């Protein structure tokens, strides 16, 4: 019986070394695979019950361990859509079976519909911008595919503008006949500014805004379309003001009369816009006017940016920034115990613990690095050493089997 056990043990050893060589082969083959995690074969003894003075040999059994928690070195690229995780988290991707998986392989490119997919065809999933998942949850149901916008952003007409800053105290009042609202050749303004706005077609228009002192702490605001200005600019305009308003300031504090309401204008094409002057003051000797307005012209997308927080933003040619998605990161208590699946993805197992999803750059999940990829954590030199050691061990185990076979022949031939 011990000869059979000896041969069985030799076969067990050869099978174990075969498994060791198989993981080494996989590691070498995937040494350049983005996000690949090294596999290793761990041995444990298998002991048979022994009674009396005879020893019954057992063997060896193997367990494959993947070093998923060991982060690979980052390789930087020129594509903002190449992503790596600096921490313990995983990207959430969706396969063709409509199931969600975890991965560290972040080489994403847009498909025909603009959705970001990696080399294995898995779609990158994220939450719509502004959505916050519940703490400690695995809210896969709220995830949507990350898609790069196609075409142009439509024009948005300006509806609001605002002025803030200070008008100079002690200004010389302008006679009524010379006020900008009169739009005469002798018209003059104390302080002039301008504001860029957009109509419903996305056409840019410039409004000339003239502030004119009419008396102590009293001012006139007159707004003109610069397209109507005289040759070389200024007065007289070919059309009257788009709107005028009279405002007053507190002589002590310089604050504007709180009863002042926004000045409503109508652009030549009928587009309505309100100008807010509630933040203006009458202080200081030099005017300090700051203006702003909403709206923008239609524009094509220039690039996509992804922050360390996982915020996906589209940057358009007109300077508009549109925040689209929040890429979350998933984590598990024991990542090395995740189930390894084809396509360099992982799924939850009974030994890994439950998957939780949260926003990037928080806690231990880590941050997202745009323009980088995580190399495999395989060391070729180490794998070649493993291969040589496995080869020698396999040969030694085969010698054990061969010796057992020869002894069995001797035992059988005793009868002859």
Percent of the chain predicted with pLDDT > 90: 63
The pLDDT mean for the chain works out to: 90
- Alpha-carbon distance 315 to 158, whole Å? 19
Indicate the DSSP class of residue 181. G
Rounded mean pLDDT, 141-167: 88
Collapsing DSSP to helix, strand or coil, 98 comes out as: coil
Q: If we measure between CA atoms, which residue out of 368, 371, 320 comes closest to residue 149?
A: 320
For residues 210 and 192, the answer to whether their CB atoms sit within 8 Å is yes
Nearest of 304, 295, 359, 288 to residue 327 by alpha carbon: 359
d(CA 70, CA 72): 7
Higher pLDDT, 54 or 165: 165
At a CB cut-off of 8 Å and minimum separation 6, what does 94 contact? 100, 101, 122, 123, 125, 143, 145
Assess whether pLDDT exceeds 60 at residue 301. Answer: yes
Structure tokens at 256: 């504007």
Please tell me the distance from the alpha carbon of residue 228 to that of residue 230, in angstroms, as a whole number: 7
Q: What's the average model confidence in pLDDT over 20-49?
A: 90
Superfamily designation of domain 160-293: Flagellar hook protein FlgE (2.60.98.20)
What is the model's pLDDT at position 322? 86
**Distance between CA 347 and CA 352 in Å, rounded?**
9
Are the C-beta atoms of residues 148 and 316 closer than 8 Å to each other?
no
Give the whole-number percent of the chain exceeding pLDDT 70.
99
211-237 average pLDDT score: 93
202 vs 84, more confident: 84
Q: Would you say residue 1 has pLDDT above 60?
A: no
How high is the pLDDT of residue 416? Answer: 63
- What single-letter DSSP state applies at residue 171? P
**Strand, helix or coil at 75?**
strand
Is residue 92 within 8 A of residue 140, CB to CB? The reply is yes
Alpha-carbon span 404 to 408, nearest angstrom = 6
Residue 393 reports pLDDT greater than 80: yes
Q: For residues 116 and 109, is the Cβ–Cβ distance under 8 A?
A: yes
pLDDT tens by residue, 311-330: 999 988 877 888 999 999 99
Looking at residue 362, the DSSP 8-state letter turns out to be S
Model-wide pTM > 0.85: no
Query: Which token pair is 55?
Result: 């020893």
pLDDT of 152 higher than 80 = no
- Give mean pLDDT, residues 85-107: 94
The pLDDT of residue 267: 83
Exposure of 3 by Cβ count < 10 A (0-12 exposed, 13-18 middle, 19+ buried)? middle
Structure tokens at 228: 């109507």
In whole angstroms, what is the distance from residue 36 CA to residue 72 CA?
8
**Per-domain residue ranges for the chain?**
2-67+377-413, 75-148+324-374, 160-293
Q: What is the mean pLDDT of residues 83-108?
A: 94
pLDDT at 415: 67
Q: In this model, does residue 183 exceed pLDDT 80?
A: yes
pLDDT value at residue 311: 95
pLDDT at 52 > cutoff 70? no
pLDDT at 137 over 60: yes
Quick: pLDDT tens for 333-386.
Answer: 999 999 999 999 999 999 999 999 998 988 888 999 999 999 999 999 999 999
Section 18-22 average pLDDT:
93
């Amino acid at each position: 019986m011990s000869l059979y056990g000896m041969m069985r043990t030799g076969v067990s050893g050869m099978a174990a070394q075969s498994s060791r060589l198989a993981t080494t082969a996989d590691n070498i083959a995937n040494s350049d695979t983005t996000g690949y995690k090294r596999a290793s074969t761990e041995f444990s003894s298998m002991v048979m019950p022994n009674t009396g003075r005879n020893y019954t040999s057992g063997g060896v059994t193997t367990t494959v361990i993947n070093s998923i928690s060991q982060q690979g070195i980052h390789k930087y690229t020129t594509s903002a859509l190449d992503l790596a995780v600096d921490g313990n988290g995983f990207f959430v991707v969706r396969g063709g079976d409509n199931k969600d998986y975890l991965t560290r392989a972040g080489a994403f490119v847009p498909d025909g519909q603009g959705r970001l997919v990696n080399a294995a065809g898995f779609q990158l999933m994220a939450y719509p911008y502004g959505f916050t998942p519940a703490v400690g949850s695995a809210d896969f149901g709220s995830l949507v595919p990350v898609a790069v916008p196609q075409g142009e952003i439509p024009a948005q007409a300006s509806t609001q503008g605002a002025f803030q800053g200070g008008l100079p105290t002690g200004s010389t009042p302008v006679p009524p006949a010379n006020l900008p609202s009169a739009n005469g050749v002798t018209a003059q303004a104390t302080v002039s500014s301008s504001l860029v706005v957009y109509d419903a077609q996305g056409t840019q228009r410039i409004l000339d805004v003239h502030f004119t002192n009419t008396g102590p702490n009293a001012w006139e605001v007159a707004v003109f379309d610069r397209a109507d200005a005289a040759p070389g600019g200024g007065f007289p305009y070919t059309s009257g003001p788009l709107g005028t308003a009279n405002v007053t300031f507190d002589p002590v504090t310089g604050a504007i009369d709180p009863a002042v309401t926004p000045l409503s204008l109508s652009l030549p094409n009928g587009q309505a816009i309100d100008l807010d002057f509630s933040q203006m003051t009458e202080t200081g000797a030099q005017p300090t006017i700051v203006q702003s307005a909403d709206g923008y012209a239609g524009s094509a997308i220039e690039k996509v940016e992804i922050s360390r927080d996982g915020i996906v933003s589209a940057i358009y040619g007109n300077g508009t920034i549109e925040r689209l998605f929040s890429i979350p990161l998933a984590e598990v208590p024991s990542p090395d115990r995740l189930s390894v699946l084809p396509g360099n993805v992982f799924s939850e197992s009974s030994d890994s613990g439950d998957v939780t999803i949260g926003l990037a750059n928080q806690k231990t999940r880590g941050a997202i690095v745009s323009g980088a990829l995580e190399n495999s954590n395989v060391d070729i030199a180490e794998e070649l050493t493993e291969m040589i050691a496995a080869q020698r061990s396999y040969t030694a185990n085969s010698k054990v089997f061969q010796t057992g076979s020869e002894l069995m022949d001797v035992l059988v031939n005793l009868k002859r």
